[in-house]
Amino acid sequence: MINVTRSIMPDYDKYIKKIEKLWENRWLSNNGKYLVELENSLEKRFETNCAVVSNGTLALLIALELFDFPEKAEIITTPFTFVATSGSIIWQKYKPIFVDIDPMTFNIDTSKIEEKITDKTKAILAVHVFGNPCDIEKIDEIAKKYELKIIYDAAHCFDVYYKKKSIYKLGEISIASFHATKVFHTIEGGALFSDNKELINRAKRLRNFGFNEKIEIVDKGINAKMNEFQAAMGLLNLEIVDEEIEKRKKRFELYKEKLKGLIKFQKLSNYITKYNYIYMPVLFENQDMRDLVYLQLKKEGYNTRKYFFPSLDEVYNSENQCRVSHNISKRILHLPLYGDLENENIERVCSIIENVAGVNK
């Protein structure tokens, strides 16, 4: 079975050699050597400050905690995202206010944000969907006008650059996911990035129960620490991630060449100066055609993914308000994409799509 993605893995012997040292020093968590080294490497790579945590959802929870919003504050966000985005808002006892998406970019439609702002609105939590940067300038403009904080869910954005600047440098704070399904991973993991060093220093306290460097509890924290086995995986994956991205780019471009005219693609920002080719989302004319392709691909050994699901009405309660999101969710399909995917498989997937789409037009 060909899956929709495949995690990169470092050389087995290199990983074993690296973690052997953990049996010598027995320092497995709590700001260990590999965690510090990983943070330093990420800060150097993206030229900003970084706090690594144990997963992307905790990064979101901490990001929301940093600003001490009042209870029941309203946070502008998008329904077209993984459930962790809105779930984090709800867990923090805030209220997610959903703004529909642009049908071309799949990102939050900035022309619809202002009509949802009230005196309870405290922040915009925007998502760079599938690594595609939002309308950064418009969001900045709105945030300044209404004195709102900007939090970016950049879970898909490892190595994405906007106008020659890392996407992690934008907004008050950006969060990343280093889950195993991402281009770069630490098995499970995440991070907070910001040019504001004070925010990152507080994030480091919050991830460790609120302890400061003197082992005094000075903040209301949580346990979001990354262990040394995960950090070791991340350090070694940093050595091979550039090659992985380059391989993905070639396969992404082959898909676009083969499927041109058959289906539609996400419109990427004109200001991307570096992209990571994390997913291969395609858009069909209607849900019936999407589902037929999904079933036929599965029958022939290809796992694809219907992604995202804004129809979770018990959470979102937004179907009537966010019709574009619901429409896109019924037509979108993620095709297999990873560095070691053979061209023959891409050609076979495209052939199946052509056959199904052609017959059912």
Half-sphere exposure of 155 (CA within 13 A, CB side): 25
Identify whether residues 301 and 169 lie together within a single domain: no
The sign of the CA dihedral 99, 105, 106, 107 is: negative
Please list the helix, strand and coil fractions of the chain in percent, rounded to the nearest 5, in that order. 40, 15, 40
Q: Within this chain, do residues 102 and 222 fall inside the same structural domain, yes or no? A: yes
Domain endpoint, select from 195, 221, 238: 238
Say what the pLDDT of residue 319 is.
47
For residue 58, give the CATH number of its domain.
3.40.640.10
Q: Which domain holds residue 327?
A: 241-359
Is residue 128 within 8 Å of 151, Cβ to Cβ? no
Q: How far is CA 22 from the centre of its chain?
A: 30
pLDDT, tens only, 159-177: 999 999 999 999 999 999 9
Q: What is the mean pLDDT of residues 133-143?
A: 98
pLDDT of residue 282: 98
**Alpha-carbon span 290 to 310, nearest angstrom:** 17
Q: Assess whether 213 and 335 both reside in one domain.
A: no
Give yes or no: residues 330 and 302 share one domain. Answer: yes
Pick the residue with more confidence: 351 or 215? Answer: 351
Q: In the chain, how many domains are there?
A: 2
- 3-class secondary structure, 343: helix
DSSP secondary structure code for residue 181 in this structure: T
Tell me how far apart the alpha carbons of residues 154 and 336 are, in angstroms, rounded to a whole number. Answer: 21
For residue 147, CA distances in Å to 75, 216, 236, 308 come to 13, 33, 41, 30
Is 3 inside any structural domain? no
Verify that 64 and 184 share a domain, yes or no.
Answer: yes
pLDDT band at 197 (very low <50, low <70, confident <90, very high): very high
**Sequential DSSP letters for 190-255:** EEEEES-HHHHHHHHHHTBTTB-TTS-B-S---B-PPPHHHHHHHHHHHTTHHHHHHHHHHHHHHH
Q: What is the mean pLDDT of the segment spanning 113-134?
A: 98
Whole-angstrom distance, CA of residue 192 vs CA of residue 175: 4
| 176 in the same domain as 51 | yes
pLDDT value at residue 317: 54
Q: Do residues 197 and 253 both lie within one domain?
A: no
Q: Do 231 and 273 belong together in one domain?
A: no
3-state secondary structure 65-89: HCCCCCCCCEEEECCCCCHHHHHHH
Q: How far apart are CA 344 and CA 202, in angstroms?
A: 49
Claim to verify: residue 160 and residue 251 sit in the same structural domain: no
- Count of CA atoms in the C-beta half-sphere (13 A) of 32: 18
Using pLDDT thresholds of 50, 70 and 90, give the confidence band for residue 37: very high
State what percent of residues in the chain have pLDDT above 90. Answer: 92
Tell me the CATH number at 320: 3.90.1150.10
pLDDT at position 182 is 98
Task: Give percent above pLDDT 70 in the chain.
Answer: 96
* Domain final residue, candidates 238, 264, 296: 238
Residues 188, 253: one domain?
no
Number of residues in the chain: 361
Residues 185 and 55: their CA atoms lie apart, in Å, by 10
How distant is the alpha carbon of residue 171 from its chain centre? 15
Residues 131 and 226 in one domain: yes
What is the average pLDDT value for the chain, to the nearest integer? 95
pLDDT tens digits, 279-314? 999 999 999 999 999 999 999 999 999 989 875 555
Give the pLDDT confidence of 85-96 residue by residue, as tens digits: 999 999 999 999
| Confidence band of 214 (pLDDT split at 50, 70, 90) | confident
Per-position DSSP letters for 14-53, written without gaps between them: HHHHHHHHHHHH---SSS-HHHHHHHHHHHHHHTSEEEEE
Residue 125, pLDDT score:
98
Residue 1 lies in a domain: no
C-beta of residue 225 within 8 angstroms of C-beta of residue 31: yes
Range in 161-165, 213-217, 268-272 with the lowest mean pLDDT: 213-217
The residue from 220, 238, 256 where one domain ends is 238
Give me the mean pLDDT over the 106-116 stretch. 98
Q: Tell me the mean pLDDT in the region 238-256.
A: 98
Other Cβ atoms closer than 10 A to 333: 22
